[in-house]
Amino acid sequence: MWPAGRARSAPSWSERSRRTPPTGAVPRFGPVRVGRGGHRLRRALRRRRRSMAAGLAMTAPAVAADAPSGASGARPAASPPPDGGRRERPPAVVSAPVRIADEAAVRLLRPGDRVDVLAAPAAGRSGGPATARTGARGARVTAVPPPRRMAAVDGGLDGTLVVLAVPRPTAAALAGAAATSRLAVALCRS
């Protein structure tokens, strides 16, 4: 095809046009369809609705069988609460720092423990035997700070600090009891 001494060159325009296939040789194909996946989602939703309807249809007889039987079929009306329909909200829970006189008892406490706080009159205030009164029942220990050995940091007060989660009125009562009494804790194990 090429003479031996001649270098091969790029084919000319006319040679290239002869190599392309004729236009009628391209096979026919159908149009490309885009977005045909929507039917899958609709079908899944239909199946889900059908299964929900079937579940409700099977549950309805069980609920009807469990209903109280009676001639009237009506349930008795609920009586209103004794406070006239108004319900009191429980008091807000606050964190109350309490200084406990017995440091060894405080070392037994861990956050999450439940304790009763007892208030005993300070020594020398009463002539007879000291009787303790309960300042808080079932208070939850939220923190036990490490004990400090310096009187200047603690303001010269004796005892170890414990942080308790108690209702707001109980926190006020504990603060008043701490001013006039020595506080102790009793660990609740229930």
Least confident of 12-16, 65-69, 137-141: 12-16
Q: Identify the residue with better confidence: 56 or 84.
A: 56
Bridge partners (DSSP) of residue 116 are: 186
Residue 171 and residue 139 in contact, taking contact as beta carbons nearer than 8 Å: no
The DSSP 8-state label assigned to residue 20 in this structure reads: S
**What does the pLDDT read at residue 127?**
59
Give per-residue pLDDT as tens, 89-105.
Answer: 777 889 999 998 888 88
Would you say how long the chain is, in residues? 190
141 confidence band (pLDDT: 50, 70, 90): very high
Average pLDDT, the chain: 75
User: Among 154, 152, 141, which Cα is nearest to 185's?
Assistant: 141
167 burial (CB, 10 Å; 0-12 / 13-18 / 19+) is middle
DSSP secondary structure of 124-137 = TS-SS----EEEEE
pTM > 0.85: yes or no: no
131 confidence band (pLDDT: 50, 70, 90): confident
